[in-house]
Chain A
Amino acid sequence: MTRTAIKGLLLATSILGTAGFAQAADVTLTVESWRNDDLAIWQEKIIPAFEAKNPGIKVVFAPTAPTEYNAALNAKLDAGSAGDLITCRPFDASLELFKKGHLASLNDLPGMENFSPVAKSAWTTDDGATTFCVPMASVIHGFIYNKDAFDTLGISVPTTEAEFFAALDKIKAEGSYIPMAMGTKDLWEAATMGYQNIGPTYWKGEEGRAALIKGEQKLTDDAWVEPYRVLAKWKDYLGDGFEAQTYPDSQNLFTLGRAAIYPAGSWEIGLFNTQAQFKMGAFPPPVKNAGDTCYISDHNDIGVGLNPKGANPEAAKKFLSFVSSPEFADIYANSLPGFFSLNSTAVKMADPLAQEFVSWREKCKPTIRSTYQILSRGTPNLENETWTESANVINGTDTPEVAGEKLQKGLDSWYKPAK
């Protein structure tokens, strides 16, 4: 607590300092954000790049603590004191702001054409008509592996499900590595790194996700139960006592070199690069049969929107166009390896591991986590239930079929798809 308090104080002084300085300029834009980890990147890289091209506009990046962001932002918006630009949380939190008129429609913003509909899905109304935030960053799921281990054991990178399990068998038989570092104690690991990681391959990404929202598919369908069947097989390859293994345990097992494969999210890259003493590589979720289309979870995480009550809408729009440009994508993605730009223009990443992750976008079809849009608005909450059931399937508490049934039953109790 004290540390955050001190951070807050330091932050406040730096912001006040820059704000005072910026007053000399013609127009000042303030960016509301929860990403206070990114403060240095904004101040040293992003803002100077923008200001150099747009003389007369000053930008101030004013982050709040992540846990306080939603509440603080709402209060500021209601009081009319919020900044010109607002960093958008994905899905319902931002949709709520748009409905209240706190975010402007950005359909006609120059630069929006640089984003695919999937990239925009987190900040688009349910009917798909209006987009209200510029997508900024996403995280990609896949598997990070210990290259040294693969080399010594003579395993090549698996591309199909059969090869994947063959590789796991080989690692297990050899015995010096835990085949896969994952635990079910924290529940979300099983759901996010497990189910949402390999799932899109089976439900065909966006196709299946859209059909689920429309009510054309059910979680009891084979496409949605199949990933659970595969997850159930993972059980034999996890470490001893994986039932009580937490997320930090898994991270440490892998970075200490005790496990060979880590079901990952790209946000791990930064940390793993600093901690792991061995070479790492990554591969996308294996497909069922060689030659099948691969699907990846490219989950939207951060966007930026326009406060319609801001003082300088024109300058703010210029900034948003900058955010949607390939130049911004390049700066952002390379400063924060693991948080990928959602821009359709491919960004060349300096970090090889991050480059590997982002290269999948060219050959695989992206989708977002199936439970995030619309389907988690009611009680019981589908995302939370998916956590519990994914862990249950791996623990063997529930069979894949039972898990699918439970999830669908919970969803049916409140969700009536629009006909």
Chain B
Amino acid sequence: MSNTPSTHDATGPVIKRPTRWHIVVFLLPAFIVYSAVMILPLVETLRLSLFNTVDGQSTFVGLGNFKVLFGDERWAHDFWNALKNNFIFFVIHMLVQNPMGVALAAMLSLPKLRFASFYRTAIFLPTLLSFVIVGFIWKLILSPIWGVSPFLLDVVGLKSLFSPWLGKPGSALIAVSLISVWQYVGIPMMLIYAALLNIPEEVIEAAECDGVTGWSQFWKIKLPLILPAIGIISILTFVGNFNAFDLIYTVQGALAGPDGSTDILGTLLYRTFFGFQLQLGDRSMGATIATVMFLIILAGVSLYLFVIQRRMRRYQF
């Protein structure tokens, strides 16, 4: 401790730097806008989840709303059902969308492939479509009455395989998940494609010199190099899936039928917060569900940032 003043002295008189106001000024607009449209509503939502209407007055109830959400049989049933469905929704994306994205990107980056840019555009195009259009198109494709899918199956004599997938509790969630995969598979494809293009030629050439070609080249050289991109995609998928709402709402409606089998956190939140049909909106319980969603996503992202990403090996070229 006694050393401190002397070291301080050793540097000589402190040069008084002018306050760098421009940093504050340049940051301010973004800060204000971000606070106003992101931070403030978030804080307000978190606050609202601690309040409820008692005798017509908004009253602080502490964790009372959470107690109702997890303690009340009906609320808990709806919530866990939504969480379970949401988890399945996410798992299907991870198992189908992302591996498919990687596979498509790998195929696109093959130098011998013709019409690569056409495929790239075609596969990416659904991502640009509105979910309303996607939902409508797929509802029509899968319609047992006018749909093209029963017709096509009939043509190849497999009509018996068709069933009204969107209307059956067992298959509706899978069907909706796959529609979502169809729409968004372009995003992992593009990100992985970019990552694959970033791998320097020398690395590939060196691998070829060592006799690593074809499949083993993909598994041993390319895949490790694109792992960070896959990590990013996974976390994007996670956040996107646990915030999902729009496609389910357009395809299955706000009640997310049949029998609540496609109800995910987003639709549960919508029904609770805004109400539906004769059900009046309950802002406090809605905010409570929103808070839980926020915490789930926060937990997932933290897990990724602090546990997985730190262990991931990166390669510098």
- A residues with a Cβ closer than 8 A to B are 91-92, 183-188, 239-246, 249, 252-253, 371-372, 376-377, 379-381, 383-384, 387-388, 391-392, 395, 397-398, 410, 413
Could you tell me the distance between the alpha carbons of A377 and B280 in the complex, rounded to whole angstroms? 7
Contact A244 B165 (CB under 8 A): yes
Contact B279 A379 (CB under 8 A): yes
Q: Within residues 233 to 279 of chain B, which ones have a CB less than 8 A from any CB in chain A?
A: 253, 255, 257-260, 271-272, 276-279
With known contacts A243-B168, A245-B144, A371–B278 Cβ distance under 8 A? yes
Nearest-CB residue, chain A, relative to B263: A388
Please give, as numbers and ranges, the residues of chain A lying within 8 Å of B72 by CB-CB distance.
413
Nearest-CB residue, chain A, relative to B279: A381
**Separation in Å of the A268 CB from the closest CB of chain B?**
18
With known contacts A187-B258, A239-B145, A383-B277, A397–B253 Cβ distance under 8 A? no
Could you tell me the distance between the alpha carbons of A185 and B140 in the complex, rounded to whole angstroms? 13
Please give, as numbers and ranges, the residues of chain B lying within 8 Å of A245 by CB-CB distance.
143-145, 164, 167
- B residues with a Cβ closer than 8 A to A are 72-75, 78, 139, 142-146, 150, 162-169, 253, 255, 257-260, 271-272, 276-280, 282, 285
Contact B258 A241 (CB under 8 A): no
Contact A244 B164 (CB under 8 A): yes
Extra contacts besides A184-B257, A379-B285 (13): CB < 8 Å: A183-B167, A187-B257, A239-B145, A240-B144, A242-B164, A244-B167, A381-B277, A381-B279, A388-B259, A391-B257, A395-B168, A395-B169, A413-B73
Residue from B74, B139, B278 with most neighbouring chain A CB atoms (10 Å): B278
Show 23 residue pairs from A and B whose CB-CB distance is below 8 angstroms, ordered by the A residue: A185-B166, A185-B257, A187-B258, A188-B277, A241-B143, A242-B167, A243-B167, A244-B164, A244-B168, A249-B143, A372-B278, A376-B279, A379-B279, A379-B282, A380-B78, A381-B277, A381-B278, A381-B279, A383-B277, A392-B258, A395-B168, A395-B258, A397-B258
- Interface majority SS (helix, strand, loop, mixed), chain B: loop
Please give, as numbers and ranges, the residues of chain B lying within 8 Å of A413 by CB-CB distance.
72-74
A-B interface, 8 closest residue pairs, ranked by CB to CB distance from nearest: A241-B144, A243-B167, A244-B164, A244-B167, A241-B164, A381-B279, A376-B278, A383-B278
Please give, as numbers and ranges, the residues of chain B lying within 8 Å of A242 by CB-CB distance.
144, 164, 167
**Separation in Å of the B248 CB from the closest CB of chain A?**
13
Please give, as numbers and ranges, the residues of chain A lying within 8 Å of B285 by CB-CB distance.
379
Could you tell me the distance between the alpha carbons of A92 and B255 in the complex, rounded to whole angstroms? 21
Contact A241 B278 (CB under 8 A): no
Could you tell me the distance between the alpha carbons of A377 and B278 in the complex, rounded to whole angstroms? 8
**Separation in Å of the B20 CB from the closest CB of chain A?**
47
Residue from A92, A241, A392, A410 with most neighbouring chain B CB atoms (10 Å): A241
Contact partner of A244 (CB less than 8 A), chosen from B73, B143, B259, B272, is B143
Please give, as numbers and ranges, the residues of chain B lying within 8 Å of A187 by CB-CB distance.
253, 255, 257-258
Contact B259 A384 (CB under 8 A): no
Could you tell me the distance between the alpha carbons of A186 and B166 in the complex, rounded to whole angstroms? 11
Could you tell me the distance between the alpha carbons of A384 and B254 in the complex, rounded to whole angstroms? 10
Residue from A249, A253, A398 with most neighbouring chain B CB atoms (10 Å): A249
Could you tell me the distance between the alpha carbons of A372 and B277 in the complex, rounded to whole angstroms? 11
Could you tell me the distance between the alpha carbons of A245 and B145 in the complex, rounded to whole angstroms? 7
Please give, as numbers and ranges, the residues of chain B lying within 8 Å of A387 by CB-CB distance.
255, 257, 277
Nearest-CB residue, chain B, relative to A395: B258
Residue from A253, A379, A388 with most neighbouring chain B CB atoms (10 Å): A379
Please give, as numbers and ranges, the residues of chain A lying within 8 Å of B280 by CB-CB distance.
92, 377
Could you tell me the distance between the alpha carbons of A185 and B142 in the complex, rounded to whole angstroms? 12
Could you tell me the distance between the alpha carbons of A371 and B271 in the complex, rounded to whole angstroms? 18
**Separation in Å of the B151 CB from the closest CB of chain A?**
12
**Separation in Å of the B36 CB from the closest CB of chain A?**
23
Contact B258 A184 (CB under 8 A): yes
Could you tell me the distance between the alpha carbons of A141 and B142 in the complex, rounded to whole angstroms? 30
Could you tell me the distance between the alpha carbons of A249 and B143 in the complex, rounded to whole angstroms? 9
Could you tell me the distance between the alpha carbons of A126 and B189 in the complex, rounded to whole angstroms? 60
Could you tell me the distance between the alpha carbons of A379 and B162 in the complex, rounded to whole angstroms? 37
With known contacts A244-B167, A395-B169, A388–B146 Cβ distance under 8 A? no
Could you tell me the distance between the alpha carbons of A251 and B253 in the complex, rounded to whole angstroms? 18
With known contacts A241-B144, A245-B167, A384–B278 Cβ distance under 8 A? yes
Please give, as numbers and ranges, the residues of chain A lying within 8 Å of B277 by CB-CB distance.
188, 381, 383-384, 387
Contact B279 A184 (CB under 8 A): no
Contact B279 A253 (CB under 8 A): no
Contact A397 B144 (CB under 8 A): no
Could you tell me the distance between the alpha carbons of A184 and B258 in the complex, rounded to whole angstroms? 8
With known contacts A243-B164, A380-B74, A397-B169, A249–B146 Cβ distance under 8 A? yes
Contact A388 B278 (CB under 8 A): no
**Separation in Å of the B139 CB from the closest CB of chain A?**
7
Please give, as numbers and ranges, the residues of chain A lying within 8 Å of B74 by CB-CB distance.
379-380, 410, 413
Could you tell me the distance between the alpha carbons of A284 and B4 in the complex, rounded to whole angstroms? 96
With known contacts A187-B257, A388-B257, A392-B259, A241–B167 Cβ distance under 8 A? yes
Contact partner of A397 (CB less than 8 A), chosen from B259, B271, B282, is B259
Residue from B74, B169, B279, B282 with most neighbouring chain A CB atoms (10 Å): B279
Contact B253 A186 (CB under 8 A): yes
Contact A391 B259 (CB under 8 A): yes
Nearest-CB residue, chain A, relative to B68: A379
Please give, as numbers and ranges, the residues of chain B lying within 8 Å of A379 by CB-CB distance.
74-75, 272, 279, 282, 285
Please give, as numbers and ranges, the residues of chain A lying within 8 Å of B75 by CB-CB distance.
379
Could you tell me the distance between the alpha carbons of A252 and B140 in the complex, rounded to whole angstroms? 14
Please give, as numbers and ranges, the residues of chain A lying within 8 Å of B146 by CB-CB distance.
249
**Separation in Å of the A370 CB from the closest CB of chain B?**
12
Please give, as numbers and ranges, the residues of chain A lying within 8 Å of B143 by CB-CB distance.
241, 244-246, 249
Please give, as numbers and ranges, the residues of chain A lying within 8 Å of B278 by CB-CB distance.
91-92, 371-372, 376, 381, 383-384
**Separation in Å of the A167 CB from the closest CB of chain B?**
22
Contact B145 A249 (CB under 8 A): yes
Could you tell me the distance between the alpha carbons of A395 and B167 in the complex, rounded to whole angstroms? 9
With known contacts A241-B145, A244-B165, A383–B279 Cβ distance under 8 A? yes
Could you tell me the distance between the alpha carbons of A240 and B159 in the complex, rounded to whole angstroms? 12
Contact A384 B258 (CB under 8 A): no
Could you tell me the distance between the alpha carbons of A186 and B145 in the complex, rounded to whole angstroms? 15
Please give, as numbers and ranges, the residues of chain A lying within 8 Å of B282 by CB-CB distance.
379
Contact A384 B165 (CB under 8 A): no
Please give, as numbers and ranges, the residues of chain A lying within 8 Å of B272 by CB-CB distance.
379
Could you tell me the distance between the alpha carbons of A91 and B277 in the complex, rounded to whole angstroms? 12
Could you tell me the distance between the alpha carbons of A387 and B255 in the complex, rounded to whole angstroms? 9
Please give, as numbers and ranges, the residues of chain B lying within 8 Å of A244 by CB-CB distance.
142-144, 164-168
Please give, as numbers and ranges, the residues of chain A lying within 8 Å of B78 by CB-CB distance.
380
